[in-house]
Amino acid sequence: MENRIHKIYSAELILLFTIAILFLVFYLFLAFNNRFATDDLEFIQLFRREGWLGSVINSYNNHTFRWPAVLIFDLFFGANLTFLKLHYLIFLYHLVTISVFIFAVYNLITNISKLLMVSLPDKKTRFIFSVLFIASFFFVTFQIADTWFWLIASCVHLQACIFGTLALSFILKPKKRGTDHILIILFAIIAAGLSENFAIWFIIFLTFLIIYLRIKKRRHTESVIPPALLRGLTVGLIAASISFNINISGMGLKSRIKMIKEETPVVGASVKENPSLPQSFDFNNMPDIIISKKNLAFFLLSASFFFFGSINRRKHILQLNTPAKTNLIKYLKVAIPLTILSVVIALLPLFYIFKGTGPLRAWVPASLMLAVFFCLLFFIIGYENISKIIGNVFRLLLLAGFAILVAYFIRQANLVTAYSKSFDERCKFLDSLQSAGNTKTIDVKGLSDSGMLPNGDITEDENMHLNDDFRDVLQLSFKVKSSDNYFKRYSGRTIVVY
């Protein structure tokens, strides 16, 4: 009997590991074919003009005021390379991003297990489920193209989640060294400086934890709350609050709010102008958004945490002869209102500033909370489950998750490969014309569909700033336009929001 259980356990882990590796390969394949788009070009030019310090100060005073985002962007894309070679650094950026994210989630799982004094999963299991959590978060993101692959936007919203997770993973470390507090301060400052709505959510979350733990300590004197935990929470809260206040005090904030008010009710670029940029959330399309292939992938990948729960149950029984107590109904009663409240807190600043839902890329904190809620839900179901039938159902769901990930890979591989090829061919063609001494305006062929990636096409207006930025980064002495550009071809048509 024990031998049979061990075989099932091993088969589950092999499949889970395969899915995790498949997601990483899928993500890195998209990363390899990603290219600069829209505002990325502007920030490349800003660095070339102003340098490291100048570009950060310029942005803080005049445009984005999210100084850590500009610093991260410059760190990766400030190399003294021609534009034709600069896009190789995009893959490096994505590789470092996913590696740091995996470490952050892995460290968080490790320290939560130690803090709650439950059985610590082995390193391989922690790695697998760190990747699977990120995969779940990836697919529940409201606009994958802009959040994960539009480079300057990912430096804002995605990196805020990553650095926030890093800060929290060290805050929850039961026993801390002096360097841990330095890292908490650093990560909290960066996270709160990257995204305002994430900073507000993060500050409220840390405040809530401090209040809750202090009340618990007073009411239950026998409860063991590590002093290092409260110190870590306090240090993180102070660092995040200072960083947030520095951000909102910048002149760039006033400039951006003024720009937003002038654009309202159109948030960001219109679909006609640039469908690769995020649109506001349309509640009329709620049924289509909920029942979508993307959310099906999210559901199936988050359901894999059922096996994380069952693995931990088996491990706990082997170590202590009895499983730890969990309560699904109690979890739902607490988690549902807290998740809804967290989502509302994360989105309230957007409704206040934009008088609407705001750009979808800014919904990342809400996506993160949904991923946490569902992964924990399936973890508890797996931990409490003793039914073979339910176990078999989740094994089928695991196979379905693998299948949908393969389907996504095949579909996106064709799209993004054609897109990156068309982008590179355009750049090489224009560079050859520059070498030949061309001075006439060139009308280039539009780029192909970029799938899950943001589209780096230009417009039919040769004097539009997007076209000018593209011409400047290529250092062309002539103007360029694209009469059959991607944006024009998709104008008025339904766009798949990945």
Q: Is the pLDDT of residue 188 over 70?
A: yes
Question: How many whole angstroms separate alpha carbon 124 and alpha carbon 265?
Answer: 49
Give the residue among 282, 198, 271, 203 at the shortest CA–CA distance from 236. 203
Residue 491 covered by a domain: no
Task: Look at 131-140, 221-230, 297-306, 458-467 and tell me which has the smallest mean pLDDT.
Answer: 221-230
Q: Is pLDDT larger for residue 352 or for residue 424?
A: 424
243: Cβ contacts below 8 Å, ≥ 6 apart: 188, 189, 190, 191, 192, 193, 199
To the nearest whole percent, how much of the chain has pLDDT over 90?
Answer: 48
Residue 476 covered by a domain: no
Question: How many whole angstroms separate alpha carbon 235 and alpha carbon 233?
Answer: 6
Please give the pLDDT value at position 222: 53
CA 22 to chain CA centroid, nearest Å: 18
Tokens for 80, please give them: 């003294």
Question: How many whole angstroms separate alpha carbon 415 and alpha carbon 453?
Answer: 9
β pairing state of 442-443 and 480-481: parallel
Please give the pLDDT value at position 287: 47
Q: How many residues does the chain have?
A: 498
Q: Is the pLDDT of residue 3 over 70?
A: no
Residue 338 covered by a domain: yes
Q: Is pLDDT larger for residue 472 or for residue 265?
A: 472
Residue 322 covered by a domain: yes
Could you identify the residue written with the tokens 């430096």? 155
pLDDT tens, residue by residue, 302-328: 999 999 988 877 766 555 555 555 678
267: Cβ contacts below 8 Å, ≥ 6 apart: 260, 278, 279, 280, 354, 356, 357, 358, 359
> Angle at Cα 78 formed by Cα 74 and Cα 80, nearest 5°?
175
Could you identify the residue written with the tokens 């990912």? 154
Question: How many whole angstroms separate alpha carbon 449 and alpha carbon 233?
Answer: 45
Could you identify the residue written with the tokens 């003024």? 258
SS3 173: coil
Please give the pLDDT value at position 321: 52
Tell me which residue range forms the domain holding 168: 16-260+286-410
pLDDT tens, residue by residue, 101-147: 999 999 999 999 888 766 677 899 999 999 999 999 999 998 899 99
Mean pLDDT throughout 318-344?
76
Indicate the pLDDT class of residue 197, thresholds 50, 70 and 90: confident
SS3 250: coil
Taking the complete model, does pTM exceed 0.85, yes or no? yes
Please give the pLDDT value at position 260: 59
SS3 14: helix
Cα distances from 374 to residues 65, 202, 299, 451, in angstroms, run: 34, 20, 8, 27
Please give the pLDDT value at position 394: 92
Residue 277 covered by a domain: no
Residue 11 covered by a domain: no
Question: How many whole angstroms separate alpha carbon 228 and alpha carbon 234?
Answer: 10
Question: How many whole angstroms separate alpha carbon 253 and alpha carbon 206?
Answer: 24
Please give the pLDDT value at position 8: 52
Yes or no: say if 125 and 183 are a contact pair by the CB < 8 Å rule: no
317: Cβ contacts below 8 Å, ≥ 6 apart: 323
Question: How many whole angstroms separate alpha carbon 148 and alpha carbon 87?
Answer: 16
Q: Is the pLDDT of residue 353 over 80?
A: no
Please give the pLDDT value at position 1: 43
pLDDT tens, residue by residue, 7-25: 555 778 899 999 999 999 9
DSSP labels, 310-329: HHHHHHHHHHHSSPPP--HH
Please give the pLDDT value at position 268: 33
Using omega within 30 degrees of 0 as the cis cutoff, is the peptide bond preceding 174 cis?
Answer: no
Name the DSSP class of 442: E
Q: Is pLDDT larger for residue 264 or for residue 70?
A: 70
Please give the pLDDT value at position 196: 87
Domain count, the chain: 1
Residue 271 covered by a domain: no
Q: Is the pLDDT of residue 264 over 50?
A: no
Max Cα separation, the chain? 81
pLDDT tens, residue by residue, 370-397: 999 999 999 999 988 777 888 899 999 9
Please give the pLDDT value at position 166: 97
Q: Is the pLDDT of residue 78 over 90?
A: no
Residue 401 covered by a domain: yes
Q: Please provide the average confidence, as pLDDT, over all residues in the chain.
A: 83
Indicate the pLDDT class of residue 165, thresholds 50, 70 and 90: very high
Question: How many whole angstroms separate alpha carbon 452 and alpha carbon 498?
Answer: 6
